[in-house]
């Protein structure tokens, strides 16, 4: 094999990559050393802003295969035929820590999936929990600020974390999930994934359904205790990345089975829980899981920066037959996710290979901007409507219209029969075994006992008491014991 020639960015061959050009041996470096200046300038610009949330992540390619007929619920083409396969890319992540954070920490995990369908890319951006801490996006920046490093101390502060939760009782359900046994997955392969939000499916007849996505791991759920996680972080801070990379390289391809819960749209108004509240679940007894297909991961990225860090997901990337619901948090994310990537990666981030459609053509009037690679031919116009056979609208909506009524303004979501902030948290607690309850109590008390203000502790204790009397009593006793030590 012949030796490849090292070149500059402009393609010129590099004569010496070991020594800078100087004014004589041992003299000062010359500004005319274009290769040196180019290398240093490029090095200074190698990093892009990390994600504000979900900064630490891993990714893989794979495919989704339909195993069951769901055409009665959606006209999405990639779900239209049993046996149909669609290429996918997934990014797993932690939420609160920075890019250099450890994998085995107690934190929700992102589960962001891109389907490269022949009708365009469909992004399903969820977590490994079916619920979330808040129900309105106006609180999201405050929530994340409370979980991130304090601007004065530079640390994650228990006072901040628990103070926000004390004043946000709707977080009680997610806290019970996070502090329970599944709060620290053993690996990305051994956790479930959820769409978390409620979405709309529309079939060929125009009938609308609301759905929730559940990806059940076929490897089995495995989690770490707080002690096991601390040991794992000490051994390999990149444990989840290592596990995913090595498993796929060995040919042990992880997989998940996708199920959905399906609610006819007409049933949403009178359901006992607000079906669009992401702090709530739909009990399976009401809406059983229906199998759709399987997700298989079989290829690692060639370059983590190009394909994992530059991967851009947005919940507003829908395809015909799938659309949003009135879920407030989802509605906020429809803007925020795409806008975050425009900031991080630029207006043309959708043209990057990992983000560009693979099975569909892009044909629109977007032009120019930083890093533009799509220009069109000399005859193409950059406006619409035009008389030159440019791309035109279809007139066919992606989903069914949602009825709205009432006065504009800031409103709390309408209450359904069981819409308090504590009922489902109590139901989750009562489902746990005695050992699971012991670990849950220890995890909550370990964090809450570090809070310095008594009133913040009391507010949080009141939430656990409201969820379940035994739950509240045991957390209160455990916190008191730790504070007296």
pLDDT at residue 390 greater than cutoff 90: no
Contact of 261 with 282, CB cutoff 8 Å: yes
The Cα 224–Cα 109 span in angstroms is 14
Q: Please provide the average confidence, as pLDDT, over all residues in the chain.
A: 94
Report pTM: 0.93
Contacts of 412 (CB under 8 A, 6+ apart): none
Spatial distance between the Cα atoms of 90 and 307, rounded to a whole number of angstroms:
10
Q: What percent of the chain has pLDDT over 90?
A: 86
Q: What's the pLDDT at 408? A: 81
pLDDT at 378 exceeding the cut of 90: no
Query: How high is the pLDDT of residue 446?
Result: 96
Alpha carbon distance 204, 253 (integer Å): 34
CA 207 vs. chain centroid, Å, equals 29
Q: What's the confidence (pLDDT) of residue 396? A: 86
- Bond from prior residue into 385 cis (ω within 30 degrees of 0): yes
Active-site residues: which are they? 54, 127
pLDDT at 379 over 80: no
Among residues 407, 482, 63, which one has the least CA distance to residue 256?
63
The token duo for 192 is 């479930």
The string of pLDDT tens digits covering residues 435-453 is 999 999 999 999 999 999 9
């Amino acid at each position: 094999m012949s030796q490849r020639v090292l070149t500059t960015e402009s393609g010129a061959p590099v004569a010496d990559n070991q020594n800078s050009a100087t004014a004589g041996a041992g003299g000062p470096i010359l500004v005319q050393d274009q290769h040196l200046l180019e290398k240093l300038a490029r090095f200074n610009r190698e990093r892009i802003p990390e994600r504000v949330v979900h900064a630490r992540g891993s990714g893989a390619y794979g495919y989704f295969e339909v195993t069951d007929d769901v055409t009665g619920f959606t006209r999405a083409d990639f779900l239209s035929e049993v046996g149909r396969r669609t290429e996918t890319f997934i990014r797993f992540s932690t939420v609160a820590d920075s890019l250099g954070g450890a994998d085995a920490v107690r934190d929700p995990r992102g589960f962001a999936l891109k389907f490269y369908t022949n009708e365009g890319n469909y992004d399903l951006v969820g977590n490994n929990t079916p619920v979330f801490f808040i129900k309105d996006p106006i609180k999201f920046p405050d929530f994340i600020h409370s979980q991130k490093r304090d601007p004065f101390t530079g640390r994650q502060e228990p006072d901040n974390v628990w103070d926000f939760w004390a004043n946000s009782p709707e977080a009680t359900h997610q806290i019970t999930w996070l502090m329970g046994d599944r709060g620290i997955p053993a690996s990305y392969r051994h956790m479930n994934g959820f769409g978390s939000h409620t979405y709309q499916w529309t079939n060929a007849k125009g009938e609308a359904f609301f759905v929730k996505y559940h990806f059940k791991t076929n490897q089995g759920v495995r989690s770490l205790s707080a002690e096991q996680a601390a040991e794992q972080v000490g051994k390999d801070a990149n444990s989840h990345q290592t596990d995913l990379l090595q498993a796929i390289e060995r040919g042990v391809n992880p997989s998940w089975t996708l199920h959905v819960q399906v609610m006819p749209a007409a049933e949403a108004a009178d359901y006992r829980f607000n079906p669009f509240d992401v702090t709530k679940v739909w009990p399976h007894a009401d809406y059983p899981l229906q199998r759709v297909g399987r997700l298989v991961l079989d290829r690692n990225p060639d370059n983590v920066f190009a394909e994992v860090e530059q991967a851009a997901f947005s919940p507003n990337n829908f395809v015909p037959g799938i659309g949003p619901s009135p879920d407030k948090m989802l509605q906020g994310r429809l803007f925020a996710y795409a806008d975050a990537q425009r900031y991080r990666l630029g207006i043309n981030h959708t043209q990057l290979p990992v983000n560009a459609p693979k099975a569909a053509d892009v044909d629109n009037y977007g032009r120019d901007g930083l890093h533009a690679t799509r220009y069109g031919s000399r005859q193409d116009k950059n406006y619409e409507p035009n008389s030159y056979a440019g791309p035109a609208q279809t007139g066919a909506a992606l989903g069914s219209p949602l009825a709205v009524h009432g006065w504009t303004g800031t409103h709390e979501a309408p209450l359904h029969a069981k819409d308090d902030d504590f009922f489902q948290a109590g139901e989750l607690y009562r489902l746990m075994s005695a050992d699971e309850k012991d670990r849950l109590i220890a995890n909550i008390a370990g964090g809450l006992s570090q809070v310095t203000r008594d009133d913040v502790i009391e507010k949080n204790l009141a939430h656990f008491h409201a969820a379940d009397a035994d739950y509240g009593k045991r957390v209160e006793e455990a916190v008191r014991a730790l504070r007296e030590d």
